[in-house]
Amino acid sequence: MPEIGGSDLFVLEFGDILHYYTPYTTTLFVLALIFTALAILSRPEGQVDIAFGGDAYYAKETAVSEMRFRRFMTIACGLATMGAMGSGDIFNFTLFASLVGITNVGIVAAVKSRHVLDAAYEYGIVAMVATLPLFGGAALILATTGTLSIPALAAGASAVPLIGKALLALGVIGEGMAPFYAAKAEMFRAPGAPYVIMCSLSSLLIFLRVVEIAITI
Amino acid sequence: MIEYLAFAAIFGLLLLGLHRKVIARVQTRPGPPVWQEILHALKFSFKSTWVPKTASATLYVGVVLVGIGIWSAALFIVLAGESILILFAIYMLHKVVEHGFGLSSGSPYGKFGGVRSVISAASEIPLFVTIAAIYLFTGSLLLSDITAYQAVHGPFLLIAPPVAIAMYLVILSKMPYGPFSIVESKELVSGYKTEHFGVWRAGISVIDGLKTFVLLYAFVAIFIGAVPFSLALVIMTVILVSLSFVCAVTPMLSPFDSVTIQGLITGAMLAYVGYLWWVMP
């Protein structure tokens, strides 16, 4: 297997499915872990907003029930992201990536702001449509090569079609990278920084991982 | 180990001071002394420090430590000749750190700085185009392999100049007072940095120093190759002065224009790599 992100540090086997950790994927995994821990330990900020048309300002408070639900979704998102970082199987990776899309909507779903909910709805549609190329790419690779194991594909027994890699990358980009992040940027207006940050971090990390997968296979 | 970190942070801050000085002289102002950024970092280290009442305290402090951690890791990756994929992952994750700085305080200025950081995500894509182009030539992303390739075939600056231009623009987009510096523009006070003061601000200065050093050193290693360390420092200074000239004569773009231009650069680079992929055996 080409050592794109450095040589393997640790391989975790589940029968014929394995998770592998190179310096690259370990770096990404550790960052997902740190920000998940920060989400568990931090309380949300009191977001201050300016009342336009006057010199007043007000602070938005996050209710405890809302905070609990959003923290749960953030932890779920962090776990899905960590799973995607080490996965040595493209099918598992696609499942983790689509779970990231669902939990990203969940992180802001409890926010009582019409603007944020509209943005979350738009993002949800884009993320849902993006699962078509995501799973389509994986299906194409499976149909062509007979396997979705990354080490087996990297061994080069049969050539992986470029269109399969492109669809896989397109699916991940649709989960919240440029240029499909426009709706997502509006979601970041929501209060609750420790949770909202996980929305951008998770998309970034799964994009960084799919780049490694596309080059490796 | 700590001496490498200290040197990189101080030299990076010196470069940022030189950046301000060059911009000022091009604009016929006297400008601050070149060691001003180092003085800032020292001054903030001894200022009174606390956490704002509205802030998410753990995140507000934690994100400073994460920022220093990722750029320290980036420095050792470059010095050890490890995979540039990790280096560029760290560059992209710096955006999340900026986002964290901006959102954690609760300040609207910081928040909009953080949101602007996220919407300028298109500026990172040329990085991956750079990686893809280099991989097409070398078949490896280890910095040690890339410098070895250049020792045989000549510097990438001459082999694939558009790729070097793309990375130059990526570094430009992270330079303060530049055309793409929308995340810390003056209508947002200091953007995502606004509410971090005292020791936290000194931490941001260290992050900025390390980031400047790492990006310029990586540019030299990737596009010029293995050169003596002292010569690398000279080349880094020359590149920085050229960036300062660009920043001095270019107005800051509006957020919309900034994102549009970065998107166009990304499109052009994708076309170039597509061409390379098509013509290369």
pLDDT digits 0-9 by tens, A74-105: 999 999 999 999 888 899 999 999 999 889 88
Q: Is residue A16 classed as helix, strand or coil in its secondary structure?
A: coil
Q: What percentage of chain A has pLDDT greater than the value 90?
A: 21
Which chain B residues touch A178 with a CB distance below 8 Å?
121-122, 124-125, 263, 266
- In one-letter notation, the amino acid at residue B117 is S
In a domain, A177, yes or no: yes
CA distance A144 to A146: 6
Instruction: Measure in Å the smallest separation between the Cα of A86 and chain B Cα atoms.
Output: 15
Distance in angstroms (rounded) separating the CA atoms of residues A74 and A133? 25
- Looking only at the bridges linking them, the beta strands covering A17-21 and A47-50 are unpaired
Let me know if residue A166 belongs to a domain: yes
Within 10 angstroms of residue B113's Cβ, the number of other Cβ atoms is: 27
- Residue A139's pLDDT is 92
Measured distance CA(B197)–CA(A133) in Å, rounded: 45
Q: Which residues contact B28 (CB under 8 A, 6 or more apart)?
A: none
Enumerate the residues of chain B whose CB falls inside 8 A of the CB of residue A211.
Answer: 85, 128, 131
The pLDDT-based confidence of A179 (bands split at 50, 70, 90) is: low
Residue A4 domain-assigned (yes or no): no
Query: What's the whole-number mean pLDDT along residues A118-127?
Result: 87
pLDDT top residue among A62 and B170: B170
For residue A3, tell me if it sits in a domain: no
Closest-CA residue to B75 (of B176, B241, B164, B206):
B206
Average pLDDT rounded to a whole number, residues A37-63: 76
Q: Report helix, strand or coil for A214.
A: helix
Give the ipTM: 0.82
Helix, strand, coil tally for chain A in percent (to 5)? 65, 10, 25
Residue B57 and residue A3: Cβ atoms within 8 Å? no
Q: What is the pLDDT of residue B85?
A: 84
B86 CA: distance to closest CA in chain A (Å): 5
- Name the phi and psi angles at A107, rounded to 5: -60, -35
- Say whether pLDDT at B9 is over 90: yes
- Taken as a whole, chain A contains a residue count of 217
For position B246, what pLDDT does the model report? 92
pLDDT tens digits, one per residue of A26-48: 989 999 999 999 888 888 777 77
pLDDT for B29: 92
- What pLDDT is attached to residue B281? 65
**For residue A3, what are the contacts with CB-CB under 8 A and spacing of at least 6?**
A22, B83, B140, B142
Q: How confident is the model at residue B212 (pLDDT cuts 50, 70, 90)?
A: very high
Q: What count of other Cβ atoms lies within 10 Å of the Cβ of residue A143?
A: 10
Radius of gyration of chain B (CA): 19
pLDDT above 70: residue B121: no
Q: In this prediction, what percent of chain B has a pLDDT beyond 70? A: 99
pLDDT digits 0-9 by tens, A181-195? 666 777 777 788 888
Q: In chain B, which residues have their Cβ closer than 8 Å to the Cβ of A184?
A: 118
| Pick from B96, B105, B115: CB nearest A45 | B105
User: What value does the mean pLDDT take over residues B125-150?
Assistant: 83
Interface of A with B in 2-61 (CB under 8 A): 2-6, 23-24, 27-28, 31, 34-35, 38, 41-50, 59
Q: Is residue A1 part of a domain?
A: no
Token pair 């360390």 is at which residue? Answer: B229
- The answer to whether the beta carbons of residues B74 and B90 sit under 8 Å apart is yes
Number of domains within chain A: 1
DSSP secondary structure string, chain B? -HHHHHHHHHHHHHHHHHHHHHHHHHTT-----TTHHHHHHHHHHTS-----TTS-HHHHHHHHHHHHHHHHHHHHHHHHT-BHHHHHHHHHHHHHHHHHHHHHT--HHHHHHHHHHHHGGGGGHHHHHHHHHHHHHHS--BHHHHHHHHHHH--HHHH-HHHHHHHHHHHHHHSTTSTT-GGG-GGGTTGGGTT--THHHHHHHHHHHHHHHHHHHHHHHHHT-S--HHHHHHHHHHHHHHHHHHHHHSPPPPHHHHHHHHHHHHHHHHHHHHHHHHH--
Alpha-carbon distance of B58 to B23, in angstroms, equals 37
B106 contacts A45? CB cut-off 8 A? yes
By the CB < 8 Å criterion, does A197 face chain B?
yes
User: What pLDDT does residue A2 have?
Assistant: 62
Smallest CA–CA separation between A56 and chain B, in Å? Answer: 13
Q: Which amino acid is at A118?
A: D
Model confidence over B34-79: pLDDT tens digits?
999 999 999 998 988 888 888 888 888 888 999 999 999 999 988 8
Give the pLDDT confidence of B224-274 residue by residue, as tens digits.
888 898 999 999 999 999 999 999 998 888 877 877 887 788 788 888 888
Share of chain B above pLDDT 90, in %: 31
| Position B23 pLDDT exceeds 90 | yes
> For B111-119, what is the mean pLDDT?
77
What would you report as the CA-atom Rg of chain A, rounded to the nearest whole angstrom?
Answer: 19
Q: Which two tokens stand for residue B212?
A: 């400047």
* B56/A193 CB distance under 8 A: yes
Rounded to the nearest angstrom, the minimum Cα separation between B37 and chain A is: 29
What whole-number distance in Å separates Cα of residue A36 and Cα of residue A30?
Answer: 10
Count Cβ atoms within 10 A of the Cβ of residue B111 and give its class: 0-12 exposed, 13-18 middle, 19 or more buried: buried
Helix (H, G, I), strand (E, B) or coil at A47: strand
**B70–A6 C-beta distance less than 8 A:** no
Residue A209's domain comprises 10-216
Query: Amino acid letter at B151?
Result: A
A171 in contact with chain B, both atoms CB, cutoff 8 A = no
More confident residue, B127 or A179: B127
User: Is A136 contained in some domain?
Assistant: yes
Q: Residue B26 — pLDDT band, cuts 50, 70, 90? A: very high
| Mean pLDDT (whole number) for A127-151 | 89
Are residues B141 and A34, on separate chains, in Cβ contact within 8 Å? no
- Indicate yes or no: CB of B86 within 8 angstroms of CB of A35: no
User: What is the pLDDT, as a whole number, of residue A119?
Assistant: 85
Is there a domain that residue A87 lies in? yes
